[in-house]
């Protein structure tokens, strides 16, 4: 057993396919390696202490929003036959919570990696995903798996529900800009909005879901070929369909309009919607600065820019 061990992960965004992925359509998720999560485990004389954003104290008294994390840690300790092993677990994160960026999955990935390193045990990718989904299932009820797959890897992920996530190649010279509306996203509520429309107005709703799936398929080619003009158009088209499904929000619309007026190639919500975050695509460094200034002027709470190496 190591005296000190570390596990890492990072944030993610869904580029395309939100909500449609629930109904069998593909989705594309991108890693955000600049927004990192680190879990560090250190041996101690006695006690099991967790230090995280919003909680500092014994493992046994973790509850509510941290219940998924507590359950995961207990299951890991049981797996290693170390249920009473004393430790301090520190979780440090630059990922905003409740913004559709995979904070929950990223914490699970980092914790699992840290515990396997602490107990000097090899960890396969399949095992990592299985362990991370324990926390995700408790926290979110019925996770698709896309968050755990993307927060664990530094490459884009092609995801179809019920199928193994598929790493994608990407040649993207543009820059993604992510902006926080300041309104907590409500994924469960947003999913219910779409489900209600599909149940009661299937003929009007199903075409939007199918269109989002087709946009994701076409965007896969955009990413592989570095066609950022087409990618921007597809982002705008997707936003139109997501708005028609009722999952946008006045604050999202305000930031999306601000980005487009400042020269973004495309802009859309990301994740569940009804608040949360949005994405904009910029071609040049000058465009990036202009779009960021426009988003801040429109009331964005935080703004991040993510550039990608060739993948």
Residues in the chain: 311
147 catalytically annotated: yes
Q: What is the number of alpha carbons within 13 Å of residue 96 lying toward its C-beta?
A: 19
The model's pLDDT over 68-122, given as tens digits with 9 standing for 90+, comes to 899 999 999 999 999 999 999 999 998 877 677 888 889 999 999 999 999 999 9
- In this model, does residue 2 exceed pLDDT 90? no
Question: Choosing from 34, 147, 180, 287, which is the catalytic residue?
Answer: 147
pLDDT of residue 147: 80
The neighbour count for residue 121, using CB atoms within 10 Å, is 12
**CA-based nearest residue to 105, from 155, 48, 144:** 144
Alpha helices (H) in the chain, listed in sequence order:
67-79, 103-118, 125-140, 146-151, 187-200, 202-225, 228-244, 250-261, 285-297
The model's pLDDT over 214-255, given as tens digits with 9 standing for 90+, comes to 999 999 999 988 899 999 999 999 999 999 999 999 999 999
- In this model, does residue 311 exceed pLDDT 50? no
Cα distance between residue 311 and residue 224, in whole Å:
9
Residue 72: C-alpha distances to residues 67, 104, 135, 303, 305 (Å): 8, 12, 6, 31, 32
The model's pLDDT over 8-32, given as tens digits with 9 standing for 90+, comes to 999 999 999 999 998 999 999 999 9
Identify the structural domains of the chain with CATH numbers, from first to last: 2-165 (3.30.230.10), 173-305 (3.30.70.890)
């Amino acid at each position: 057993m190591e005296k000190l061990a570390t596990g890492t992960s990072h944030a993610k965004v869904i580029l395309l396919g939100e909500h449609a992925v629930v109904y069998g359509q593909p989705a594309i998720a991108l890693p955000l390696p600049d927004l990192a999560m680190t879990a560090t485990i250190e041996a101690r004389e006695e006690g099991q202490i967790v230090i995280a954003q919003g909680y500092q104290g014994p493992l046994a008294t973790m509850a509510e929003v941290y219940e998924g994390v507590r359950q995961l840690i207990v299951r890991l300790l049981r797996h290693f036959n170390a249920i009473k092993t004393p430790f301090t677990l520190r979780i440090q994160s630059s990922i905003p919570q409740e913004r559709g960026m995979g904070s929950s999955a990223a914490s699970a990935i980092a914790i699992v990696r840290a515990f396997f390193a602490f107990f000097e045990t090899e960890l396969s990718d399949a095992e990592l995903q299985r362990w991370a989904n324990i926390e995700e299932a408790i926290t979110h009820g019925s996770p698709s798996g896309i968050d755990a797959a993307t927060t664990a890897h530094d490459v884009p992920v092609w995801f179809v529900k019920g199928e193994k996530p598929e790493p994608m190649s990407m040649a993207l010279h543009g820059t993604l800009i992510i902006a926080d509306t300041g309104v907590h996203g409500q994924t469960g509520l947003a999913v219910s909005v779409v489900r209600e429309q599909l149940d009661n107005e299937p003929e009007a709703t199903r075409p939007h879901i199918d269109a989002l799936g087709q946009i994701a398929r076409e965007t896969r080619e955009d990413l592989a070929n570095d066609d950022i003009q087409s990618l921007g158009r597809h982002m705008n088209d997707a936003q139109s369909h997501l708005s028609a499904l009722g999952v946008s929000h006045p604050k999202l619309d305000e930031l999306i309009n601000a980005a487009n007026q400042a020269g973004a190639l495309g802009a859309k919500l990301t994740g569940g919607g009804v608040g949360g975050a949005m994405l904009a695509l910029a071609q040049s460094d000058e465009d990036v600065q202009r779009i960021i200034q426009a988003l801040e002027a429109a009331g964005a709470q935080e703004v991040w820019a993510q550039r990608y190496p060739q993948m």
